[in-house]
Amino acid sequence: MPTLTRAEAVERASLVDVEEYHVDLDLTGSGDTFRSRAVVRFRARAGAATFLEFEPVEVASMTLNGVPVPPEASTGTRLALTGLADVNELVVDATMRYRNDGEGLHRYVDPADGNTYLYQHMFINNAGRVLPAFDQPDLKAVFRVSVTAPESWLVATNGALVSSDAGRWEFAPTKRISTYLATLIAGPYHAVTAEHDGIPLALYARAALAEHLDAQAPEIFELTRQSLDRFHEMFEIRYPFGHYQQAFAPEFNFGAMEYPGLVVFRDELIPRSAVTETERERRANIIAHEMAHQWFGDLVTMAWWDDLWLNESFAEYLGSRVTAEATRFTDAWTTFAMQRKAWGLRADQRPSTHPVAPSDVRDTEEALLNFDGISYAKGAATLKQLVAWLGDEAFLAGLNDHFKTHAYGNATLADLLGALSKSSGRDLSGWAEVWLRRAQVNTLRAEVTRDGADYAEVAVVQTAPEGFPTLRPHLIGVGLYDRAADGRVVLRARHEVELDTSGRTVLADLAGQPAADLLLLNDGDLAYAKIRLDEDSAAAVPALMPHLDDALARAVIWASVLDSVVDGERPVAELVTLVLTALPVESEPSVVEDMLRTTRGLVDRYATAEARPAALELLAQAADRLLAVVPAGDSRQLVAARGLIGATVDTGRLRSWLAGQDVPDGLTVDADLRWLIHYRLAVLGAIGADVIEAERERDRSASGEQWAVRCRAALPDASAKEAAWTAIVADGSLSNRLADLTAAGFWQPEQAELLAPYAERYFTDMPGMMRIRSGMSAERIAVTAYPAVIVSDRTRQLAAGLLAEPGLHPILHRVVLDADDDMRHALTARG
């Protein structure tokens, strides 16, 4: 995968104006290649030289303005052109290679029925794997696509279908879009169609998922209609790309991608087994998020990747907002507080932290690394604060002005800030400097002194980490909660407070008021900051939390507790005790799901080998208690069952569930729950490869294949571990998803002694893995395969050695740098 520098992009944009790509793909051949014939029409500075991204297997012919281009002009990653005219036409006929890593034209064979499926993902700098292209976001062009494929297939692209006959599909030209937004799907996809407000709608999924897509299509269409209506209420420019198709593709690297006219999701979002309300909400949020991109990213596109936040921060913010405002998932901001914002806070405190809107992103490799919790969740939380500060009317007026000015073109941070400043009458340059241009997070602590039963003084103290001394203006809620006569904990009053940058803000209105049972900073979750309660409130949390009615307030408290544990201010044992006390009565499924998962992860790394079994037992008890009290069929029942399976060592109980015995009423041990049980049994060494293979024979689906790979990697067997490790680091034929799941199953805290030698092998073998994989697939495997459960000074020494090596791949460098910092936290917690 070639890297494009910003300097190269700026120079090329000064020379070239792209008008149209006419792409003609022949997908009928056998083997691992396809034919691509591309006609690229562009204007240029007469006499100039430039290049296109291009990675062919073989070139049949190349002409520029009717003159043959010499073969040596194609280097294998780029195509160099010289002697350009004012108006140019490049025609290239080449053989290209299908991919198995989700980068380019990805090819997948479904083990359920042998059907072949394709999807095109040219994200960031992969367009050259499908056609010769000027692959940068500010060189937009019209795409006109033709495809030859087996007659039994379905083919869809960004553009509208013009004709389909005898295996030949012709599509209408698109609006002007960036190269990374051009896509297609092809294969025997199953389709469900509808229409809303004059917009044709379609859903696509593999034939093996047809019955599940049919069953879930009404809900997906409802969410799509609700989201479209809400965006049309907010935005003066209606949905701008004609039809609205949503495809669910196998082995997709992202959760989804916002291709205009044809959004592509990973097909796990069409589940075949029971799911929780949180998972349904997550799908709703992703649908709204990708729809927001049709304006933020597709209609108006960043000029370069340093303004990634114009895409992802806005889509993240609007995804949660529209989900909460337009769908039945009205508590979406609670999920954001628990899960998404926590992701941003963790990323923002790592060594690789960066501003939401960095002033310079040097190249496309650095751009890929910035697709993280900062660009998504921190940016969204910052926008939530900005909207509260500006007012919604001024905010939306600025956005609509921005869309009108830059429709079908590109824009920068300065362009958007100008529109918002104009609509609000406020100069946003100072706000942007501290919130968008500077990295890291502030901590807000409540300082309370009492005069008997009353407050003498309440202050909020703001601090910043060493090396990142910025203090910021914050608009926060301060909630006073008291226990009522009936035992419930209810809100007495919420004070809105603007914190300045002095570092200490006194809440004068609270002086002389009766002290609350709980004083909660950031009540309402407007602020992006770490929150610390005063001593009395923190001590009262275990008794008050089970009786606190406000789900968002509980989420703020849970997040504060988790963050305190990560920072080493509270022991993980205290967290586990709180989970045992409060989680069985928690009513919000997203809170239950996140707390069980996050606490389990902290126990695996922060608890010592001696303390971990007891901590896991308490987690299993918490899940078991919840399982005993929730109504049959309640979403929390499935969450609790999964949590219990993951924490228990009672293999007899797990086997009885597989046999259909003693299963709680309302809980179905379906295909995926069966696999989860098998996975836990594999980790504990209670089954072998033969049992996994038998279950695989029972479930010949794509999901079954993926579960089996993960289970085999989890076996505490030396030969199984060696085979799995070889697959992770050396088998380029293994697809992106299967390699990732192999890595996900490999590392188990229960198997530390067996796995210890592989900690060293990670640091010797992973550079080789980076040579056989690229992009997001390589990054994901490097993260998942990291020996995070081998918590030791020796692992940190090995990390330091690799980081010191010259020429280390930047993706691997960042992964190891951040993972090592996580291990530093774990060692601190254990100490």
Question: Could you give the 3-state DSSP secondary structure of residue 14?
Answer: helix
Verify whether residue 290 is a known catalytic residue.
yes
Question: What is the sign, positive or negative, of the torsion defined by CA atoms of 354, 356, 359, 364?
Answer: positive
- How high is the pLDDT of residue 1? 59
What number of other Cβ atoms are within 10 A of residue 175's Cβ?
18
pLDDT over 90 for what percent of the chain? Answer: 98
Q: 193 near 128, Cβ under 8 Å?
A: no
Q: What whole-number distance in Å separates Cα of residue 102 and Cα of residue 776?
A: 8
Question: Could you give the 3-state DSSP secondary structure of residue 118?
Answer: strand
CA distances from 500 to 74, 391, 443, 473 (A): 57, 19, 13, 5
- Mean pLDDT for the stretch of residues 273-292: 97
Tokens of 360: 């310079």
Question: What is the sign, positive or negative, of the torsion defined by CA atoms of 368, 373, 376, 382?
Answer: negative
- Mean pLDDT for the stretch of residues 468-486: 96
- How high is the pLDDT of residue 831? 84
- How high is the pLDDT of residue 775? 87
Q: Which of 763, 779, 765 is nearest to 731 (CA)?
A: 765
**Range scoring the smallest mean pLDDT among 138-147, 204-213, 221-230, 591-600:** 591-600
- Quick check: 723 pLDDT over 90? yes
- Mean pLDDT for the stretch of residues 106-122: 97
Which residues contact residue 394 at a Cβ distance below 8 angstroms, ignoring those fewer than 6 apart?
A: 420, 423, 424, 425
**Range scoring the smallest mean pLDDT among 241-250, 398-407, 578-587:** 578-587
For 663-681, the pLDDT digits (tens) are: 999 999 999 999 999 999 9
- List the catalytic residue out of 258, 281, 290, 586: 290
Q: Which of 228, 223, 260, 235 is nearest to 245 (CA)?
A: 260
Biggest alpha carbon–alpha carbon distance for the chain: 91
**Range scoring the smallest mean pLDDT among 8-17, 125-134, 768-777, 780-789:** 768-777
For 547-567, the pLDDT digits (tens) are: 999 999 999 999 999 999 999
Assign 774 a pLDDT band (cuts: 50, 70, 90): confident
* pTM, 2 dp: 0.97
Q: 296 near 314, Cβ under 8 Å?
A: yes
> Quick one: DSSP state of residue 769?
H
- How high is the pLDDT of residue 632? 93
Q: Residue 113 — φ and ψ, nearest 5°?
A: -140, 0
- Mean pLDDT for the stretch of residues 375-397: 96
Q: What is the dihedral of CA 648, 651, 654, 659, to 10 degrees?
A: -170
Instruction: Provide the residue type at 541 as one letter.
Output: V
Mean pLDDT of the chain: 96
Q: Residue 44 — φ and ψ, nearest 5°?
A: -155, 165
Instruction: Provide the residue type at 321 as one letter.
Output: R
Tokens of 114: 């042998």
- Mean pLDDT for the stretch of residues 271-277: 96
Q: Residue 258 — φ and ψ, nearest 5°?
A: -85, 35
